[in-house]
Structure 1
């Protein structure tokens, strides 16, 4: 929140208290504590009747430095707290030379000179990354007597700020006020489903504010040269995370807060749902699935949305007997067709549900201070909230899900989790304000861990809407309720890229949009975008998303891009393994791959899909698209056209193409089987070699389908007019040089070292 009135004045009732100088230091080998008065003290009497701030500095991991500023240390620090699975003791080293103190962790150093006015500098690679100056550490009381701890870190000239969760406002956050507060606000406002108190900048570092409750950001929006963050508390803790590249920042941040689990490879295929408020029953489901098969569109997952349960009874986890009289038999029939099954759930219990009386009697529902169950009528009549801070309530809730898993359900869409009240009492005594954001973490964690327990490591999968820091451990997340037009499609992408820069490796969205009904043009363009996302789901609100409802060409486009995604499965699985191992997302903002390109720092209508594919969705009725091509000669893998950058390109595409460019010196593996996402990827794999410069070389791994690891490895190197391929593969494989018009070569044995001609005409 803002505390100042312009540069000179404070807002009425706001009284500031900021660290002014270092009065005393206590340091050991790994930690230093600075004591900072809030005014310049010239004599003994100046120490009276005035606050003294305690500023603790330490390192929880290499390349990460923590700063905790405390006013009154006697306040009760209440749950919940973010778990930091990657934290370790003694990661930093303190050095003192006269008045100069330094805390160093890896290549990052925090420097403070106790003889000078208050100034913390974060230094790496011989340069100051950021600093906390005269208003960098302190607190402000407001007219209502509230106590806000405040931090400020300087922004350099040309420094851009990204992240803070899945935000649909402008991609670069400079100039914005952002509240980290879970909201069910759609995709067209400043509210967000996934609020993450972590931002990174294009200057080689990120900042994580370690506070699960409301964090109020002013990103160059109060003091234009500062990122300010504040919490209503007596203490404020943050971590500066060094890169120097954005990928390395994300790797260190997710090592600290938790890396994404690796979703099962079958989830890469196309998902189809009943949609939300549409009419459906088993006959409708069968018609959808038959229709996809008859039109040659392979389907991997079928999802049952809310009304698989009876109206007014969400959630009771019982199938509506009028529309699904034989759920176990129906699921068995669907699974015989090779489909995985997803079911919608939420953490609320409606009053009409038989589970309401059980939950109230057993104490599993969140209560008000007077002991009554918290209820309201928004969403479901008289609904209550499951108290996941109570282990017994968690077991009660997940026990209901076990029954569904026994019936044949494979995964759950964990919807909602944002509208959590603060006028309640939690079983474990958690602070209601801090639980508002954190609730979704406990909800998703409970369901994900159940799936991992029942289905095994590598098979657990959610389709989750809300999240906070650490929630990246429980993929996949989707972008919430968007409208069905091009503006909503673009804002969805913007939110997904922002979430990826907040440590989340996997992201999806409702193909065609959720609210309303898309035009055939919007549907076809969204299908292209959706099937070039990490996970792909057709879903709507009050209208179906089966492609034939949008014309025969929509059927053709859906088929073509589904088959393309299946062929790209080994490439996408490798990107998924990278997200699991490093925290770098599958869908990457351009600045992640091109941090030294100033233009890439601004791009939010295109992205990198994995290391080597650039995707620029089309957001126009006439097929016109403008996109930026980084340096080098790129190849459109759909048309074979070479495009040389750096430059902006304007093109027009029909519904069967879009800018899908292979990076220079890349090798893209394509599976031989285009009918399913999981196949023997190394058997008959086609290697697409693009714009290899003389002397360039790449090592390509064909991943396993059942988890981390590899089944084949190829090393490709260009030596003049020859291309040398070395492999340990014992399967047939193919090589295509250049675009679709290149020569196709076949090798039938491995391990082998084979060379092919590589001339300028390729």
Structure 2
């Protein structure tokens, strides 16, 4: 059973008065390379309280020896009437990343960040669908303030009033407008974390020696990265909200008849008798025989995913059982279940298991779990911050972890049944890496969507830059390219009768007025989606590295190249696994600049070789993928399939980049948790300059991968 490091024994460390505490704090080491500083009265519920999985201690012990660029005793912790204040040392040339799934910012040095869950992330203040109180440094360490309270981080922005002569470099004069408004200030040598209301605090320190190792420790301490169902790495398509059962079948037939890859069909709100708030009861007018639909979809190779939110309607069978186990405020006249309460979470889970999961529903989408927009006075639909919950969480704290606790509740259903899933969710929090959920957003700025793929790797989260409507064919194709190069390829047509590639204009789409070139655009989309299906084995191996080693499958260049100053501010390129660099374009770009780090790289589309350490201008067509492959990589590309079934065998072409190369594949049933008992194979691919070789080791009896060809690109 997992040990929760809440350190209740530390309550005896100090007697707190109205004065600031100054007693020395206690440091414990719960895992290799992880140290926890604790002072004061720790909240009953912290982000780490809710971890479902134990730390992967063995994997953590195999990482490089832990190293910090400062003495851990230089971290300052103070508890006052206001709350807790933590100061973490900061070098002048240090760069900071993280605070969750940030939108609009990348390098957080010099900013004031307040990572709060919010349904409409705005500006650069820190509001986001996936806030965390965790950040990492290019100097090779990570810091997590273990609290569910709203916390403000001053990332090297504060200048204290201290005795002594002011440094001449921090004193500015002059009377010109330019000088007066330059706003220059001293470079702070600390990150300050301000936690109002806290009577004590825990600080988790994840040591490097480099930024990627620090992130590995964080993910492994969380329980390792998720391993979604193999079919989840295919294509997901969400149908129109008011589709009826026959219309869903018609859409499924469209995909199969036109050989367009699709693994998951998502049903939107009207599948329920009431959706705002939710009944969690099939709507008989729209879905008269849901079991027949589930079974028929399964025969065609589709998995069904159900939209919901977690606010329980008075007409729901869940209302009475949850009435006393919910918050004291309603949302859309519905209960807000206290998912921190084991009884409430268990009731919600049992109903979902018995009503949906046992009948064959493969996953769920949780909407509106990310609080109403704090940047708008009229956005008041969600529960207030002063809400009270039976567990003892306040509304503020519940907002921060509501999406995470939902993930945990649903994940536990599937884990108990030894069946993997892949969920959609609109909020998450710290220590989320074990959960098979990809975040999405109602925002729709393409450039921001690309940046959120990059930032997701700093958070232990996954991100879906979903495709909805488009302003042009270029917009559709560029967005689709980005979706193909992300954790989940998702088309969300909840307000479109036809797929967006048949008609980009909403009104015409819903009146079945298709574009004259609809079939050509459809063919172009098919080509992109076939590439996604070719990439599934490679992506699955990247997720295996996430699961067992804590390496984010999608990550910023600075993680792999932490000493290359050119990577410190690149927010629109990212690594996919070990060997692919992606550089998506938006609809505004016919070409773009791409920085390639040290080493040699190959344009995937042309095979042209580029010398690293330089910036190039590239152009890709709508049916090409803006990716580069690192020299020494064996890229295992599969013959595209329309969907991934339990019996799918992938026919692999090994694309060899360079004279000598190496690659790996992870092989298991793709559906159960038997991999935790070692029931899997590791495939090592090597090319020595003359021929390719495959070595397979492990206890999994079936062979999913068949190596058909070796193709050398020099």
Q: Is the 8 A contact 1:67 1:238 kept in 2?
A: yes
> What SS is found at the alignment partner of 2:285?
coil
Q: Distance in 2 between matches of 1:652 and 1:106?
A: 39
Q: Is the 8 A contact 2:386 2:394 kept in 1?
A: no
Query: Which residues in structure 2 correspond to 1:455-474 (within 5 Å)?
Result: 456-457=418-419, 459-474=420-435
Q: Distance in 1 between matches of 2:70 and 2:19?
A: 35
* Cα pair distance change 1:449/1:679, threshold 3 Å: closer
CA-to-aligned-CA distance 1:106-126 (integer Å, 9 cap, x gap): 955xxxxxxxxxxxxxx64xx
* Cα pair distance change 1:188/1:480, threshold 3 Å: farther
Q: Distance in 1 between matches of 2:571 and 2:24?
A: 41
Q: Distance in 1 between matches of 2:122 and 2:526?
A: 28
* Cα pair distance change 1:683/1:557, threshold 3 Å: closer
What is the aligned counterpart of 1:536 among 475, 483, 489? Answer: 489
> What SS is found at the alignment partner of 2:436?
coil
* Cα pair distance change 1:563/1:678, threshold 3 Å: farther
CA-to-aligned-CA distance 1:534-567 (integer Å, 9 cap, x gap): 2211014534544222433431232112111212
What is the aligned counterpart of 1:231 among 175, 195, 215? Answer: 195
Q: Distance in 2 between matches of 1:182 and 1:49?
A: 32
The answer to whether residue 217 in structure 2 is matched with residue 252 in structure 1 is yes
Q: Is the 8 A contact 1:161 1:200 kept in 2?
A: yes
Alpha-carbon shift at residue 700 of structure 1 (Å): 2.7
Q: Distance in 1 between matches of 2:652 and 2:64?
A: 41
Q: Distance in 2 between matches of 1:732 and 1:206?
A: 41
* Cα pair distance change 1:727/1:413, threshold 3 Å: same
CA-to-aligned-CA distance 1:250-275 (integer Å, 9 cap, x gap): 12112223223311101111100014
Q: Is the 8 A contact 1:508 1:537 kept in 2?
A: yes
The answer to whether residue 330 in structure 2 is matched with residue 375 in structure 1 is yes
> What SS is found at the alignment partner of 1:497?
helix
> What SS is found at the alignment partner of 1:492?
helix
What is the aligned counterpart of 1:700 among 635, 659, 664? Answer: 664
The answer to whether residue 233 in structure 2 is matched with residue 268 in structure 1 is yes
Which residue of structure 1 lines up, in the alignment, with residue 416 of structure 2? 453
Which residue of structure 1 lines up, in the alignment, with residue 34 of structure 2? 64
What is the aligned counterpart of 2:401 among 431, 435, 438? Answer: 438
> What SS is found at the alignment partner of 2:212?
helix
Q: Distance in 1 between matches of 2:234 and 2:65?
A: 42
> What SS is found at the alignment partner of 1:618?
coil
Q: Distance in 2 between matches of 1:49 and 1:155?
A: 27
Q: Is the 8 A contact 1:507 1:533 kept in 2?
A: yes
Query: Which residues in structure 2 correspond to 1:68-79 (within 5 Å)?
Result: 68-70=38-40, 77-79=43-45
Q: Distance in 2 between matches of 1:231 and 1:738?
A: 56
Q: Is the 8 A contact 1:130 1:156 kept in 2?
A: no
Q: Distance in 1 between matches of 2:88 and 2:472?
A: 46
Query: Which residues in structure 2 correspond to 1:403-442 (within 5 Å)?
Result: 403-419=355-371, 420-442=383-405
Q: Is the 8 A contact 1:150 1:229 kept in 2?
A: yes
Which residue of structure 2 lines up, in the alignment, with residue 508 of structure 1? 464
Which residue of structure 1 lines up, in the alignment, with residue 102 of structure 2? 167
Q: Is the 8 A contact 2:103 2:121 kept in 1?
A: no
Q: Distance in 2 between matches of 1:255 and 1:712?
A: 20
Q: Distance in 2 between matches of 1:529 and 1:169?
A: 17
What is the aligned counterpart of 2:446 among 483, 489, 494? Answer: 489
> What SS is found at the alignment partner of 2:25?
strand
Which residue of structure 1 lines up, in the alignment, with residue 572 of structure 2? 605
> What SS is found at the alignment partner of 2:643?
coil
CA-to-aligned-CA distance 1:579-603 (integer Å, 9 cap, x gap): 1112222111111222222212221
Alpha-carbon shift at residue 575 of structure 1 (Å): 0.5
* Cα pair distance change 1:82/1:712, threshold 3 Å: closer
The more displaced of 339-348 and 617-626 is 617-626
Alpha-carbon shift at residue 323 of structure 1 (Å): 2.0
CA-to-aligned-CA distance 1:15-49 (integer Å, 9 cap, x gap): xxxxxxxxxxxxxxxx9x999999xxxxxxxxx99
Q: Distance in 2 between matches of 1:208 and 1:218?
A: 14
| TM-score (norm: length of structure 2) | 0.81
Alpha-carbon shift at residue 452 of structure 1 (Å): 2.1
Q: Distance in 1 between matches of 2:239 and 2:570?
A: 34
* Cα pair distance change 1:320/1:600, threshold 3 Å: same
The answer to whether residue 474 in structure 2 is matched with residue 521 in structure 1 is yes
Q: Is the 8 A contact 1:211 1:236 kept in 2?
A: yes
> What SS is found at the alignment partner of 1:547?
coil
Higher-Rg member (1/2): 1
Q: Distance in 2 between matches of 1:738 and 1:358?
A: 64
> What SS is found at the alignment partner of 1:605?
coil
> What SS is found at the alignment partner of 2:387?
coil
RMSD: 3.2
Alpha-carbon shift at residue 244 of structure 1 (Å): 1.3
Q: Distance in 2 between matches of 1:267 and 1:312?
A: 25
* Cα pair distance change 1:359/1:221, threshold 3 Å: farther
Alpha-carbon shift at residue 194 of structure 1 (Å): 0.9
Q: Is the 8 A contact 2:129 2:427 kept in 1?
A: yes
* Cα pair distance change 1:737/1:408, threshold 3 Å: closer
Q: Which has the higher strand share?
A: 1
Which residue of structure 1 lines up, in the alignment, with residue 436 of structure 2? 475
What is the aligned counterpart of 1:309 among 272, 276, 300? Answer: 272
Query: Which residues in structure 2 correspond to 1:316-335 (within 5 Å)?
Result: 316-335=279-298
Q: Is the 8 A contact 2:455 2:555 kept in 1?
A: no
> What SS is found at the alignment partner of 2:114?
strand
Which residue of structure 2 lines up, in the alignment, with residue 358 of structure 1? 320
* Cα pair distance change 1:472/1:263, threshold 3 Å: same
* Cα pair distance change 1:673/1:156, threshold 3 Å: same
Q: Distance in 1 between matches of 2:222 and 2:589?
A: 44
* Cα pair distance change 1:669/1:724, threshold 3 Å: closer
Q: Distance in 2 between matches of 1:517 and 1:710?
A: 42
> What SS is found at the alignment partner of 1:511?
coil
Alpha-carbon shift at residue 235 of structure 1 (Å): 1.6
* Cα pair distance change 1:36/1:315, threshold 3 Å: closer
Which residue of structure 2 lines up, in the alignment, with residue 657 of structure 1? 624
Unaligned 5+ residue runs, structure 2? 1-9, 58-62, 160-186, 372-382, 505-517, 698-702
Query: Which residues in structure 2 correspond to 1:7-406 (within 5 Å)?
Result: 52-70=22-40, 77-80=43-46, 82-83=48-49, 107-108=65-66, 124=68, 128=70, 132=74, 136-139=76-79, 147-186=82-121, 190=125, 191-223=127-159, 224-225=187-188, 226-232=190-196, 233-276=198-241, 279-311=242-274, 314-351=277-314, 353-355=315-317, 358-359=320-321, 362-367=323-328, 374-376=329-331, 380=332, 382-402=333-353, 403-406=355-358
Which residue of structure 2 lines up, in the alignment, with residue 725 of structure 1? 693
Q: Distance in 1 between matches of 2:669 and 2:283?
A: 36
CA-to-aligned-CA distance 1:121-172 (integer Å, 9 cap, x gap): xx64xx5378747xx33245xxxxx513211122223211111100103111
What count of residue pairs does the alignment treat as equivalent?
A: 629
